């Protein structure tokens, strides 16, 4: 059997895809995998900031279309790039354990934290969420726009005389650039993007054979070699491409994203803490100019994660409407 896996061509996207493929090969060495690089609209337009391109799914639409058309069999995405609703006929097959969800600062030599930066320091980001939360904490900073992959953005610290850039911790950690991280920004200063740090493995709804390969452990017997019975939940435990806590977090945060009807035009953030059967969800929403950033936290049952996200979106939307009125 051969499975064609679609991905973007950036170093991070390919690294993430190879990680998924290697995990699948460990369980299913008999399956052949082929990687197909697909350019998306977000990849092709590099000279315009994301909020000005004005489209949902900038980094996934072309990949999803090839999945729908049968040109690829599965796709690996950064979950934060996924629109709140998937196209008809597609689904998430699995959500692996989340990497660190925080944002980080990569700073010019001599600085060690956000508080070390001098007045008027030039910090680059392509995200309104990051920009306006930085300015809320440090109104004196000079926030400039930036595009490009991880390596390009880091290189611009020297090339464009920046004092620092803001990036997702998960991206740097996955490509082995953790030594570049100067400062992990606390979530009480900067709420991450919904589902930041999580991966999405997307397939067609009718691809039952591929879903089984993704979600099954390599178990061909009901007993271990010593003759003892294998516990019923063993396949879940050895399935490194499925993580229950991450699934809960993603359900809550994407529920908020869906309820708030967000886009890259406006600052939106969400992070869910899981504590056993309970969750605490914090959401961020604001206007395009960053004049009004609303942050709220609510709690509830982990089993109702998506509903908690939708509920938080309603509460924040009502407060925002009062502000607008």
Kindly give, in sequence order, each residue whose CB lies less than 8 Å from that of residue 312, ignoring residues fewer than 6 positions away. 256, 259, 270, 281, 283, 296, 298
Strand boundaries in the chain, DSSP class E: 2-7, 32-37, 74-78, 90-94, 103-107, 122-124, 142-144, 164-168, 183-184, 199-204, 268-275, 278-286, 293-301
Catalytic residue among 43, 51, 81, 103: 81
How far apart CA 187 and CA 270 sit, in angstroms, is 10
Residue 196 DSSP SS3? coil
81 is catalytic: yes
Asked whether 203 and 91 are in contact (CB, 8 A), the reply is yes
Which pair of structure tokens corresponds to residue 307? Answer: 């509903």
Query: What whole-number distance in Å separates Cα of residue 185 and Cα of residue 175?
Result: 19
Q: Let me know if 173 is exposed, middle or buried by CB neighbors in 10 A (0-12, 13-18, 19+).
A: middle
| Burial track 51-62 (b if 16+ CB lie within 10 A, e otherwise) | beeeeebbbbbb
Residue 286 exposed, middle or buried by CB count within 10 Å (0-12, 13-18, 19+): buried
Backbone conformation region of residue 195, classed left if phi is above 0, alpha if psi is from -120 to 50, else beta = left
DSSP, collapsed to helix, strand or coil, labels residue 166 as strand
Give the residue among 322, 248, 309, 250 at the shortest CA–CA distance from 283. 309
Closest CA to 12 of 157, 169, 132, 144: 169
With CA atoms as reference, report the closest residue to 262 among 62, 78, 127, 153.
Answer: 127
The residues assigned a catalytic role are 81
């Amino acid at each position: 059997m051969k499975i064609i896996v679609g991905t973007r061509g950036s170093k991070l996207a390919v690294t993430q895809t190879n990680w998924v493929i290697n995990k699948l090969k460990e369980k299913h060495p008999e399956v052949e995998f082929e990687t197909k690089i697909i350019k998306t609209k977000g990849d092709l337009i590099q000279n315009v900031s994301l909020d000005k391109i004005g489209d949902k799914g900038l980094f996934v639409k072309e990949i999803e279309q090839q999945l729908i058309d049968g040109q690829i069999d599965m796709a690996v995405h950064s979950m934060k790039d996924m629109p709140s609703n998937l196209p008809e006929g597609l689904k998430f097959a699995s959500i692996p354990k989340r990497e660190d969800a925080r944002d980080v600062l990569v700073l010019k030599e001599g600085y060690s934290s956000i508080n070390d930066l001098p007045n008027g320091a030039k910090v680059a980001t392509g995200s309104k969420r990051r920009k306006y939360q930085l300015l809320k904490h440090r109104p004196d900073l000079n926030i400039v726009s930036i595009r490009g992959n991880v390596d390009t953005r880091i290189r611009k610290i020297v090339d464009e005389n920046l004092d620092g850039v803001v990036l997702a911790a998960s991206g740097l950690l996955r490509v082995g650039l953790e030594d570049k991280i100067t400062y992990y920004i606390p979530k009480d200063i900067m709420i991450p993007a919904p589902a930041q740090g999580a991966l999405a493995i997307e397939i067609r709804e009718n691809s039952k054979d591929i879903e089984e390969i993704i979600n099954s452990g390599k178990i061909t017997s009901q007993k271990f070699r010593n003759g003892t019975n294998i516990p019923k939940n063993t396949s879940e435990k050895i399935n490194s491409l499925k993580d229950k806590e991450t699934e809960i977090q993603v359900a809550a945060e994407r529920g908020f994203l869906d309820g708030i009807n967000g886009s890259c035009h406006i600052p939106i953030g969400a992070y869910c803490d899981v504590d056993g059967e309970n969750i605490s969800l914090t959401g961020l929403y604001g206007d395009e100019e960053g004049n009004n950033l609303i942050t709220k936290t609510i709690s509830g049952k982990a089993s109702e994660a998506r509903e908690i996200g939708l509920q938080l979106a309603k509460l924040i939307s009502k407060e925002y409407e009062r502000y607008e009125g």
